[in-house]
Structure 1
Amino acid sequence: MGRNTRKRRTPLATKAIAASAALALGGGGLIWANFYASAHESNNSGQNQTKAAAGQVATIACPDVQQKLTNVPAQAQQGVATELANLDKQVTEAYTRLASTRQAQAGDANFVQNAIVGPLKDKRAATLNRIRIDIQRVGGQVDAAGLQALAACTTQTANQTTAAGGQNGGQQNGGQQQQNGGQQQNGGQQQGNGQAGAAQNIGGQAGNGPVAADFVDITKVQPNVAAKPQANGNASKGVFITKCGVNANKNHNTDNVIVAPGVTNGAHHLHDYVGNQKVNAFANNNTLIADQTSCQNQGDLSAYYWPVVRIQDGTQDFDQNALGGGKEGNVGKILTPVQAQIKYVGSPTSKVTAMPQFLRIITGDAKTTTNGLANANAHWSCTGFENKVQLTTQYPICPQGSNVVRTFAFQSCWDGKNIDSANHRTHVAFADANGNCQNGFKAIPQLTMRLVYKINPPVLQNGQVKNAYAVDGFPEQLHKAATDHDDFIAVFKNNLANKIANCINSGQRCQ
């Protein structure tokens, strides 16, 4: 598959993901690998309700075509990005139909296949054919049959979507990827949420999650944070801090200019933006460098953006009737972080190279419910527990006086040539377990972010969760904790990229 940009496989990932062989097709024109979460049977109390929910179709799982496309000619990238956005829209529409036809599903065992999954395959097949045409029109190569094989979608039960629930491992610590076997079983929490029968849903204020199994009392989780890799004599030990605020001015939109440029609502969920203040689907390098920034250092025009967190307590926010908001299952009161700490750190084994202008990085995977955990990079914890417990597949219930913390540690190795790649992953990579970049990649300053939220602890009662909180996401992803992700576009003025690298390489603490 070319360069390996995935994180080192953890015991959790190995257990939760069945990975088919990677196939290279069409002379390198298309490469893909399919990932599916393994099934997990609940042994919780109240099994009748749990099994009723688990047996119902909970969501739709479609191959993530974007992740499979690793070699798209530059002339075809805009057309392909538009069609990939169409695939997301089709899945969203199919999931909406799935959620609104529970009564029909209860009366007809073939309803989902005949009325939802089958027609979805036909729509995807037509879109995939347009992607093939876009690539071949400019001389690119693609295996038509292999591409069409990505048209068919399957369904997942509630059991399958919570396969990884209650187990957390493979966390990052101190900006480096760690391997550990820390696993916590979800003591007695039910995976089902809702009433049996036609009115049944899979939990949450909008009926698309989260459920009780998506939460765990952090005080009952065994420590799972491993030690940092040992630094050698060539380590770059400095830190550069950039202060860009917490998005108190509520700069939001549901676009995703990296993945779906030129497509309004390309993310199907709402983002917080700090740093560059004019990021939307139509932003480009010229507009980004000309825009204003919320950062104190006016040379930092970088775009830092992430999905919002909401409290599902029955309240609504400004977007309750909007696409990307309530119309697509993202409901509840939007929370503004009480802290947003952004810093760049170095490598334990080498000096760092300055980030190239307009470098794009996405960390994590917004579609882990259907993709599996291979690219998951979510980190959830509580203040006072961050050095002991980090969670990937569950949200923490923090003790009184402790706040919820989301942490992101971005890929810190760069191929030295490209500011982006067709699947937005292969141009960057994580360092290995010892902190080294592999395959000729160069160490760059590692962007790390820490977002702190003041949240009243959710309550688990009778297999239900009350006053849940959850990250925004694609509606079919059911608001799982593992779908958390973060986006970044490097935009620097006044030689700031070099100043950051020099600060880190000289072991200073700068801002």
Structure 2
Amino acid sequence: MGKERRLLTLVICLVLGGGLTAAVLGASRAAGPHGATAAGRPAPSDYVDIRDVPRAPAAAPAPGADASTGSVVVDCGRNEQGHYNEDNLVVSPGLRAGAHHTHAYVGNLSTDAMSTDASLAAATTSCRGGDRSTYYWPVLRRLDRPGTRSHEHSAGHGNTGEILPEVSVLVEFRGSPVSKVVAMPRFLRGITGDAVAYTAAGDADVRARWGCSGSPDRSTTRYPRCPGDERVTRTLVFPSCWNGIDTAGAGHRSHLRFPGTNGVCPPDFFPVPELRVSLAYEVPAGVPVALDSFPEQRHSPKTDHAMFVNAMTDRQMAAVVGCLNEGRACRT
């Protein structure tokens, strides 16, 4: 009898020990290289001194004879209206707080999860020229101060800290280096970047680039530490090849693709105006910053992303296309 009890005790210990070991290993795997971070904050390796980032040559190919070399700046302000919410009209329409983190907006002042094409077309806008499109991205926070305003702590899920306001927002359209562009359809949805890049199998959809205002030839996928008199920058470039059919697609990406490194669109895709959103922030020296993110993404800078819905009228879009194709520099 005593022998049987000792055997049973041994089995129980092995089971419990194995379960504990599995739990520890599982937690370690889930944490990944950031396992030592507290409360899911970015790891020290997520930050880099901009002076340690190598200079990079211009990546864009030289314009060809048929290039559309113009540019159009759409003046939409810098969210002076304080338009924030936890919705994502492009990825999770109809779902309140579906983003689980806070987005900042310029353009259409009505945008939320319940927006429709009709409501966007009827709303007011922050864009001076009347563009009712919506442009939005996750907020950037400073981690040394708690958020005190209602929109700073409404997201939860570990997204805490004082939201840094953008000191500049540049919404710009550019043409193609190899051909003329065609008009985007009205209410086209677009996304750039990968909100789940931290746990993704690869970096194929990591698109946003970080930098400092005084070093335009250096960019990184990490949070940059800039000299005290420079601003932290984020540049978000959207895909500019459209399938000619859909305004939204599977995975929110199949209808829009990026051109190749030579500037040429994939077969059966058409070049449309390339949207760029460039953001800048004043960050005091030594202050840690972090993007809002899903909890399991641990505020990785690689998860930076942005979305837009084109609500320009056909006439407004035609003006953008004309400016790009004619090689002019325009502002609306």
For residue 355 of structure 1, what is the amino acid of its counterpart? M
1:176: which partner in 2?
Answer: none
Give the C-alpha shift of residue 323 in structure 1: 4.9
* 5+ residue gaps, structure 1: 1-106, 118-153, 162-191, 194-201, 459-466
1:497: which partner in 2?
Answer: 317
1:426 to 254, 267, 272: 254
1:221 to 53, 59, 63: 53
Q: For residues 320 and 210 of structure 1, do their structure 2 counterparts lie closer, same or farther at Cα, with a shift above 3 Å needed? A: farther
| Whole-angstrom CA distance in 2 between matches of 1:395 and 1:318 | 25
- What whole-Å deviation, never above 9, does each CA across 1:17-49 have from its counterpart, x for those lacking one? xxxxxxxxxxxxxxxxxxxxxxxxxxxxxxxxx
2:13: which partner in 1?
Answer: none
Equivalences for residues 125-136 of structure 1 within 5 A? none
- What whole-Å deviation, never above 9, does each CA across 1:280-322 have from its counterpart, x for those lacking one? 1100111110111000001x10000000000000322324885
1:233: which partner in 2?
Answer: 65
**What is the root-mean-square deviation in Å for CA atoms of aligned residues?**
2.1
- What whole-Å deviation, never above 9, does each CA across 1:138-176 have from its counterpart, x for those lacking one? xxxxxxxxxxxxxxxx943342x5xxxxxxxxxxxxxxx
1:379: which partner in 2?
Answer: 209
Check conservation: 1:242, 1:297, Cα contact below 8 A.
Answer: yes
1:454: which partner in 2?
Answer: 282
Q: For residues 217 and 288 of structure 1, do their structure 2 counterparts lie closer, same or farther at Cα, with a shift above 3 Å needed? A: same
For residue 382 of structure 1, what is the amino acid of its counterpart? C
* 5+ residue gaps, structure 2: 1-18
2:4: which partner in 1?
Answer: none
| Whole-angstrom CA distance in 1 between matches of 2:244 and 2:47 | 40
| Whole-angstrom CA distance in 2 between matches of 1:469 and 1:267 | 20
TM-score, normalized by length of structure 1? 0.59
Give the SS at the match of 2:106.
strand
TM-score, normalized by length of structure 2? 0.89
Matched, 1:282 2:114: yes
| Whole-angstrom CA distance in 1 between matches of 2:325 and 2:280 | 28
Q: For residues 437 and 320 of structure 1, do their structure 2 counterparts lie closer, same or farther at Cα, with a shift above 3 Å needed? A: closer
For residue 119 of structure 2, what is the amino acid of its counterpart? T
Check conservation: 2:152, 2:160, Cα contact below 8 A.
Answer: no
Check conservation: 1:225, 1:390, Cα contact below 8 A.
Answer: no
Q: For residues 489 and 235 of structure 1, do their structure 2 counterparts lie closer, same or farther at Cα, with a shift above 3 Å needed? A: same
Equivalences for residues 240-259 of structure 1 within 5 A? 240-259=72-91
Matched, 1:310 2:141: yes
| Whole-angstrom CA distance in 2 between matches of 1:262 and 1:450 | 28
Give the SS at the match of 1:292.
coil
For residue 233 of structure 1, what is the amino acid of its counterpart? A
2:190 to 353, 356, 361: 361
| Whole-angstrom CA distance in 2 between matches of 1:507 and 1:334 | 38
1:399: which partner in 2?
Answer: 227
| Whole-angstrom CA distance in 1 between matches of 2:248 and 2:46 | 33
Q: For residues 277 and 258 of structure 1, do their structure 2 counterparts lie closer, same or farther at Cα, with a shift above 3 Å needed? A: same
For residue 217 of structure 1, what is the amino acid of its counterpart? D
Matched, 1:336 2:210: no
Check conservation: 2:241, 2:269, Cα contact below 8 A.
Answer: yes
Q: For residues 225 and 318 of structure 1, do their structure 2 counterparts lie closer, same or farther at Cα, with a shift above 3 Å needed? A: farther
Check conservation: 2:67, 2:180, Cα contact below 8 A.
Answer: yes
1:442: which partner in 2?
Answer: 270
- What whole-Å deviation, never above 9, does each CA across 1:110-137 have from its counterpart, x for those lacking one? 4479xx99xxxxxxxxxxxxxxxxxxxx
Check conservation: 1:265, 1:323, Cα contact below 8 A.
Answer: no
Give % identity: 38
Give the C-alpha shift of residue 223 in structure 1: 1.1
- What whole-Å deviation, never above 9, does each CA across 1:183-227 have from its counterpart, x for those lacking one? xxxxxxxxx65xxxxxxxx13xxx111121110111122213444
Give the SS at the match of 1:411.
coil
For residue 97 of structure 2, what is the amino acid of its counterpart? N
For residue 402 of structure 1, what is the amino acid of its counterpart? E
Tell which deviates more after alignment, 209-218 or 315-324: 315-324
Q: For residues 222 and 232 of structure 1, do their structure 2 counterparts lie closer, same or farther at Cα, with a shift above 3 Å needed? A: same
2:132: which partner in 1?
Answer: 301
1:109: which partner in 2?
Answer: 21
- What whole-Å deviation, never above 9, does each CA across 1:396-443 have from its counterpart, x for those lacking one? 000121110000111011001110102100101111011111122100
Check conservation: 1:276, 1:302, Cα contact below 8 A.
Answer: yes
Equivalences for residues 113-192 of structure 1 within 5 A? 155-159=29-33
Q: For residues 276 and 112 of structure 1, do their structure 2 counterparts lie closer, same or farther at Cα, with a shift above 3 Å needed? A: farther
1:485: which partner in 2?
Answer: 305
| Whole-angstrom CA distance in 2 between matches of 1:432 and 1:496 | 28
Check conservation: 2:186, 2:313, Cα contact below 8 A.
Answer: no
| Whole-angstrom CA distance in 2 between matches of 1:230 and 1:406 | 24
| Whole-angstrom CA distance in 1 between matches of 2:124 and 2:305 | 24
Larger Rg: 2
Give the SS at the match of 1:109.
helix
For residue 348 of structure 1, what is the amino acid of its counterpart? P
Check conservation: 1:366, 1:484, Cα contact below 8 A.
Answer: yes
Q: Could you say which structure has the greater relative contact order, defined with CA pairs below 8 angstroms and 6 or more residues apart?
A: 2
| Whole-angstrom CA distance in 1 between matches of 2:51 and 2:256 | 35
| Whole-angstrom CA distance in 2 between matches of 1:363 and 1:389 | 20
